[in-house]
A = this chain, B = another copy of it.
Amino acid sequence: MISQRAMGIGGPARPWVQRHRGANRLEQFPLAVWSKLVSRHARNVSRDLMGYGDPMGYGPFREVIAEYLRAFRAVKCELAQIMVTTSPQQALQIAALALLDAKDSAWIEEPAYPGTHQALQAAGARAVPVPVDAEGLNIEYGIQQEGCARVAIVTPSHQFPMGVSMSSMRRLELLSWAREHGGWIIEDDCNSEYDLRGTPVSSLQGLDVDGRVIYVGTLTKAVFPALRLGFIVIPKDLIRSFLDIRNATDTFATSVLYQMAMTDFIREGHFSRHMSRMREVQIETRNALAAAIIAQTAGLLEVVDDEADMQLVTLLPPGLDDVDVAAKLPKLSAAVYALSECYVSRPPRGGLVIGYANLNLEDIPAMLAALKTAIHTSIPKH
């Protein structure tokens, strides 16, 4: 017999995260520069750095992350609050274990990134789905449904997968719920770098004056997935508890070598150059993809008019089963999956989420043809 939590996770056999976060356009990455930095550090490994490292992560790397978050995401933080993780999934897991006991409940967005739900299941905690509308999470609904939840896990910059950014009013409501109920907010801010609106929305964490927000981010997506570098910004009062959980679950952070190389990559300006270039590439891809869908799949796919980054949400004709449609798709360079996989309950309407992070412009026609075929063969015959 296995644990109920393991049974609960179940679901599709293919790993979620790979499909949902998607990989970036690896051919765009300045691999020569990166390889040079890594081999420079690999050749000059100090024995000091071969032993057990600081479980919070490599100091200089934490410092550049803190600087970056203060400057670009308006996060209020200092080095001592930064814990390096291998991934946002690990960050969610550590936070869930530090804050929730079995049977405790947490609000998750409906729809949400499925890994969020899975992290709660692994912790034995209970997910309370709270709907997302045009202003983001419906806080009032959450309070009515389960005001005493311990945690709310949100993606305020760009809701995943719908893309809306949480309104100022909702941000204040959420912070005041946390203050009044002693709740915690986990802000998953992954991919906020790829804002297609020009001026990125600031973090929710930066508005918090009560130390109720745990901020989760990653460099993995912006750089390359195998990097395995994410981070948590932990409210000062919680650092010790998060560290206890980290020690109980996996001692210390990911590769020191990569943390060293990444510190240089950021300090020497390669990171911001790469980000600017990728932002252009992704805007171009998104616009071309949205235009092609609108022009060529009228009546079959409806583009949800949001500004979600790295994925485009489309809706299917009412009555079609999106899991069924997605199952008919061949392997594509875009990660295409059923919108209903992001829902705990039944979605109001089925759809396809198209993760275009790794999509080349020249692959769009073939992808659209595959989508059309899959949809056509799923429409019930009368």
A interface residues, Cβ below 8 angstroms from B: 1-7, 9-11, 13, 15-18, 23, 26-27, 29, 31, 34-35, 38-39, 42-45, 47, 49-53, 55, 86-87, 89-90, 93, 97-104, 115, 118-119, 121-124, 150, 182, 224-228, 238, 240-245, 247-252, 254-258
Contacts and interface: CB of A to CB of B under 8 A. Distances in A.
B15 A249 contact: no
A101 B87 contact: no
| Interface SS of chain A | helix
Residue among A1, A104, A247 with max Cβ neighbours from chain B (10 Å): A247
B93 A248 contact: yes
| Copies of this chain in its oligomeric complex | 2
Contacts of A13: 240
A226 B103 contact: no
A244 B9 contact: yes
B100 A3 contact: yes
Contact of A10 (B2, B98, B244): B244
A3 B251 contact: no
A380 B114 CA distance: 60
Given A35-B45, A122-B245, A104 B3 contact: yes
A47 B115 CA distance: 25
Nearest to A118: B248
Given A87-B251, A251-B89, A52 B18 contact: yes
A42 B258 CA distance: 11
Nearest to A85: B250
A51 B26 contact: yes
Given A6-B245, A90-B250, A241-B6, A102 B124 contact: yes
Given A6-B241, A254-B255, A93 B249 contact: yes
Contacts of A5: 97, 101, 245
Residue among A53, A122, A150, A252 with max Cβ neighbours from chain B (10 Å): A122
B15 A55 contact: yes
A247 B15 contact: yes
Nearest to A183: B1
12 contacts: A4-B101, A7-B241, A31-B50, A38-B39, A42-B42, A87-B250, A89-B251, A90-B250, A93-B249, A118-B248, A122-B245, A122-B249
Given A38-B42, A42-B39, A247-B118, A1 B150 contact: yes
Given A13-B240, A244-B9, A248-B118, A99 B228 contact: no
Nearest to A4: B101
Contact of A86 (B1, B240, B250): B250
A248 B119 contact: yes
Contacts of A93: 248-250
Contacts of A26: 47, 50-51
Given A101-B124, A102-B103, A255-B254, A52 B240 contact: no
Contact of A248 (B100, B121, B258): B121
Contacts of A47: 26-27, 31
A226 B102 contact: no
